[in-house]
Structure 1
Amino acid sequence: MPVTVVRLNLVDPAATPGSLSGRYRAALEMAAYADERGISTVQTEEHHGSTDGWLPAPLVFAGAVLGATRRITVTVSALIAPLYDPLRLAEDIAVLDLVSGGRLVTVAGIGYRPEEYAAHGRDWARRGALQDEALETLLAAWTGEPFGYRGRTVRVTPRPSTRPHPPLLVGGGSRAAARRAARLGLPFFPSAHLPELEAYYHARRAEYGTEGWCLMPPETTALLHVAEDPDRVWAEYGRHLLHEARTYASWQPEGQRSAVRSRAQDTAALREEGVYRVVTPEECVALASQGLTSLVLHPLCGGMPVEEGRRSLRLFAERVLPRLKD
């Protein structure tokens, strides 16, 4: 059975403060419903300064989801680690690990938007060094022992419950990211299906003498919306899917390797491209039978109306998930 994921990034280009608050509350209700129905994962991410309200505080949102659920895993993919104070980040993740019983998975990325670094007073040219410091600090802090940090001795308490530390992966699409993961003995999560980068990671692990594994994205990643009438959804709501696709495309520099990358300029091209798909329940089951390792449902994509998002999630839970289990 593939991993089942509900992706929530809370984008809404037409939001008002009141409507956005309702969208956040609805997202928590969806997460609780997904948990009750046996969906594997809620996934969220981090971006800053977006005019459409893209989620900037994934750990806060993750904490709310963890509090509203009992079993489901919450994955932050990715957290832009260099934008955080490393000690405070270690404390926040430790508390979330304790609260959730180890259900938070953090993928630490380096980011790809210089303006996010500028907004937070971080030096884009030093992003590699900042990422090294952040990851090294997390691993030292979570031992519960004193350690050296910026010329002084510090200790972070309480210690997380998960041993040896909360789930932490290094994300990225570069050799530098793969080397960093290998050197620190952390799992590696490539930003796209990059077998050559996985081989490089394992080769560097062998040199460093570290343990680790690679979570490779599938060759084809599709963001799904389930509907009984896909033509209706594309006609009425395709603009929301296109909004997210175009926003991502505007952010990603040339050569950026990403599992979700669209070149579509209109909804017709987006539908033909297949990165964002609106499928019937039966078509969704068929996708799983084709060997996909994960099904990623994106019910609130690009400002999708909440009721349409709920309808998609219900169809997935009631008419797709039972057949996957069978």
Structure 2
Amino acid sequence: MPVTVVRFNLVEPAATPASLRARYQAALEMAAYADEHGITTVQTEEHHGVANNWLPSPFAFAGAVFGATRRIAVTVSAIIGPLHDPLRLAEEIAVLDLLSGGRLVTVAGIGYRPEEYALFDVEWKRRGKLQDELLETLLKAWTGEEFEYQGRTVRVTPRPFTDPHPLLLVGGSSQAAARRAARLGLPFFPSAHLPELEAYYKERLVEYGTDGWTMMPAAETPLLHIAEDPDAVWATHGEHFLHEARTYASWQSGDIRSAVKSAATDVTELRAEGVYRVLTPDECVAQGLDNLVLHPLAGGMPVVEGWRSLRLFCEDVLPRLDG
């Protein structure tokens, strides 16, 4: 059975508090509906100070999803590790792990927007060192034992539900990220389909004498929207996909490698590119994808249209996927 994901970043340009409240509530209702229909994962992420209201608090959102669901996992992909206090983050993840019964997956990256570091007065040039400290501290904290932290003895409680600790992956597209994951014996989550980086990670596992595995995006990982009439959706709502694609593009320098990186400058180019795909249910089944990532509220998509896509996916695509 393919992995099925419903993604939420709660973007809404020119939102009001009331419209954002409605969007957040819709996302929770969609997560509950996805859970009832057997979707595998809710995926969310972290960005700060974005004019279009990109979700800045993925763990708060994850907690709300867990309260509305029974089985579905929540993957936070990714947090910007150096922006978090390590002890507070250890507590927060432990509590979510207990509340959810082990359904939280955290991917820790270091981000790629210096302005986010400036917002929190965190030094951009120290991000690698801060990431090392964060990951090392989380692993020590989740043992429930005392350990030395910044010159003092500390202990973090409660211990998580998951043994030995909640699922924590190191994200990134650099050799430094792969080395970090291997050194700590943590799984590696490349930000795109990067077989050469996976091979490098496996070599470092041997070097450090640690165990690990890779969760790598497939060569094609399109963001999907399901519709009876894709032409009509592109004509009416294509600007929402383009808004998100252009936002991502404005953040990413040439050396950033991402599974959802787009070079499109208009809706026509975006449709031809294939990063975002609007498909009929039949077309979606025929894609034969191992990972299906539905993005029902992409770029401020109207909630009504998001529901239409999600229902078509759950009612007319999921039953026909190979079990």
- TM-score normalised per structure 2: 0.99
On the 8 A contact 2:187/2:212 being kept in 1, the answer is yes
On the 8 A contact 2:2/2:322 being kept in 1, the answer is no
286, 296, 308: which one aligns with 1:311: 308
Q: Which residue of the partner structure matches residue 250 of structure 1?
A: 250
**Tell me, what secondary structure is at the counterpart of 2:321?**
helix
1:26, CA displacement in angstroms? 0.3
1:238, CA displacement in angstroms? 0.2
CA distances 1:89-133 after superposition (whole Å, capped 9, x unpaired): 000000000000000000001100000001011000000000000
Amino acid across the alignment from 1:3:
V
Distance in 1 of aligned mates of 2:171 and 2:255: 16
Distance in 2 of aligned mates of 1:257 and 1:275: 14
Structure 1 unaligned blocks of 5 or more: none
Q: Which residue of the partner structure matches residue 57 of structure 1?
A: 57
Amino acid across the alignment from 1:270:
L
1:163, CA displacement in angstroms? 0.5
Distance in 2 of aligned mates of 1:220 and 1:320: 19
2:316 aligned with 1:324: no
Q: Which residue of the partner structure matches residue 113 of structure 2?
A: 113
Percent pairwise identity: 75
Q: Which residue of the partner structure matches residue 294 of structure 2?
A: 297
Amino acid across the alignment from 1:240:
H
Distance in 2 of aligned mates of 1:73 and 1:132: 26
**Tell me, what secondary structure is at the counterpart of 2:316?**
helix
**Tell me, what secondary structure is at the counterpart of 2:77?**
strand
Q: Which residue of the partner structure matches residue 269 of structure 1?
A: 269
Matches within 5 A, 1:1-326: 1-288=1-288, 292-325=289-322
On the 8 A contact 1:14/1:303 being kept in 2, the answer is no
CA distances 1:274-316 after superposition (whole Å, capped 9, x unpaired): 000000000000112xxx2200000000000000000000000
Distance in 1 of aligned mates of 2:175 and 2:51: 32
Amino acid across the alignment from 1:311:
R
**Tell me, what secondary structure is at the counterpart of 2:224?**
strand
Structure 2 unaligned blocks of 5 or more: none
Amino acid across the alignment from 1:184:
L
CA distances 1:209-254 after superposition (whole Å, capped 9, x unpaired): 0010011111111000000000010000000000000000000111
1:325, CA displacement in angstroms? 4.6
Amino acid across the alignment from 2:206:
A
Amino acid across the alignment from 1:5:
V
**Tell me, what secondary structure is at the counterpart of 2:75?**
strand
Distance in 2 of aligned mates of 1:241 and 1:14: 16
Distance in 1 of aligned mates of 2:62 and 2:110: 19
Distance in 2 of aligned mates of 1:14 and 1:51: 8
Q: What RMSD, in angstroms, separates the aligned Cα atoms of the two structures?
A: 0.6
Paired residue total: 323
Amino acid across the alignment from 2:28:
L
